Amino acid sequence: MAEITYLEAIREALDEEMARDHNVFLLGEDIGAFGGAFKVTEGLMKKYGEQRVIDSPISEIGIVGAAAGAAHMGMRPVVEMQFIDFIANAYDMLTNYVATARYRAFLPTPMVVRGPSGGYVRGGPFHSQNPEAGFIHTPGLKVVYPATAEDAKGLMKAAIRDDDCVLFFEHKYLYRRIKGVMPAGDHVVPIGKARTAREGRDVSIITYAATVHKSLEAAEKLAAEGIDVEVIDLRSLAPLDDEAIFNTVRKTNRVLIVHEDTRTGGIAGEITARINESCFAYLDAPVLRVTAHDIPLPYAPQLEDFVLPQVDDIVTAVRRLVGW
């Protein structure tokens, strides 16, 4: 089997799901003839027609609301945000309408909202955001954020088949940098299950998306110093895999949480609280965090590098945990 990129893996999942289920359709800005700003949907309009790959006006509230309506009627829409930053425009529709539909009114809303997220690409404040925290905080929404090509495909298939609304964050830094070989057959990765990206004894790093790769790089550096780091890739942020989190804490007794999103109100705080509540007795050191600074993401490379977590920051943090 040939290697394909993270981006191609997402396209493959969309393609296979559209072929499998006639209720699956795509909508978003420039996704049809153009194939999307990042070319994730390239070729799909040609294959499935304009009825199933719909070029929308620049109307994020409109397309998310329309997807919800269609989902109530038994369709399985997949909405593209051209950049995930613009999901903010649809925040009302997602949090007020979509997230409450099942609970309030027993309305199934099986839909996916996907889009390129994250920084490390010099995109400036409006093309680099990681808005996951606001949605993790909203009951009724599921949130996934893959770090590998295999997971990108498997989680997309699971998201499309899920009976709830799944926000599918794609890291644009990984789109063409990460490749993988897809398992044969119907490759579905269940939502809600974390993955051990690297086995280790001394310290656990719990992370997701682009910082999985930064953490693995840091783990290599630390291995040279004799520190054996375990890296847990959460994959799914809502629901969180408590089992996997607690297991790694019990194993290494030292935890670092790494994410690219800003610090205050970020998911690291939630994970820390869960560890405190359930695994306090297993901790040999306080749970530490490496995150972005609480700063809007700046454009200049020198500034972006400072604000976002880097490999050296992770190394520094692990050393501190080990030396506790």
Partner 1 sequence: MPPKSGRAASRGAQPHLGEALPIERKLELYYWMRLTRTLEERLVALYRQTKVVGGLFRSLGQEADAVGSCYALEQRDVMSPLIRNLGAMLVKGATPVEVLKQYMAKGDSPTRGRELNIHFGDIGEAGKTRGFLGQISPLGDMVPVMTGVTMTFKMRGEDRVGLVYVGDGATSTGAFHEGINFAAVQQLPLVVVIENNGYAYSTPTSKQTAAAQFVDKAIGYGVTGEQCDGNDVLAVYDCTKRAVDRARAGEGVQLLEFMTYRRKGHAEHDNQSYVPDGEIERWAAENDPIDRFVRVLLDREKVAQATLDEIDARVAKEVDAATDIAEASPFPEPLDAMIGVYADPPVEKPLWFREGADVSKLGKERAEGWGTFDAKGGK
Ligand X SMILES: Cc1ncc(C[n+]2csc(CCOP(=O)(O)OP(=O)(O)O)c2C)c(N)n1
- Catalytic residue positions? 127
The overall longest dimension of the chain from CA atoms, in Å, is 60
The identity of residue 143, as a single letter, is: V
Residue 264 near partner 1 by CB under 8 A = no
Residue 128 interacts with, from ligand X, partner 1, none (CB under 5-8 Å by kind): none
The four Cα atoms 176, 179, 182, 183 give a dihedral, to 10 degrees, of -150
Q: Which of 58, 273, 300, 303 binds ligand X (CB under 6 A)?
A: 58
Cβ-based nearer residue to ligand X, 38 or 97: 38
Nearest to 190 by CA among 228, 137, 244: 244
Single residue of 11, 127, 171, 254 touching partner 1 by CB under 8 A: 127
Smallest gap, in angstroms, from Cβ of residue 132 to ligand X?
A: 19
Quick one: 3 or 312, whose CB is closer to partner 1? 312
Q: Which does 301 bind (CB under 5 to 8 A by kind): partner 1, ligand X, none?
A: partner 1
> Closest by alpha carbon to 78, among 167, 148, 141?
167
- Residues in contact with partner 1, counted by CB under 8 A, come to a total of 45
Based on the shown chain and the rule CB under 8 A, indicate whether residue 86 belongs to the binding site for partner 1: yes
- Nearest-angstrom CA–CA distance, 101 and 70: 13
Angle at the Cα of 159 (from 24 to 309), degrees rounded to 5?
A: 135
Closest CB to partner 1 among residues 59, 276: 59
Question: What is d(CA 236, CA 174) in angstroms, rounded to the nearest whole number?
Answer: 17
Among 102, 263, 274, 322, binds partner 1 (CB under 8 A): 263
| CA-to-CA separations, 118 to 91, 102, 115, 140, 260, in angstroms, rounded | 18, 30, 10, 23, 8
**Piece in contact with partner 1 (CB under 8 A), picked from 32-40, 160-168, 207-215, 233-241:** 32-40
Cα 213 to Cα 177: distance, rounded to the nearest angstrom: 11
Site for ligand X contains 33 (CB under 6 A): no
Residues 79-118 that bind ligand X (CB under 6 A): 82, 86, 89
> What whole-number distance in Å separates Cα of residue 287 and Cα of residue 122?
30
Residue ranges binding partner 1 (CB under 8 A): 29-30, 33-34, 37, 55, 57-62, 82-83, 85-86, 88-89, 122-127, 263, 290-291, 293-296, 298-303, 305-307, 313-314, 316-317, 320
Residue ranges binding ligand X (CB under 6 A): 29, 58, 60, 82, 86, 89
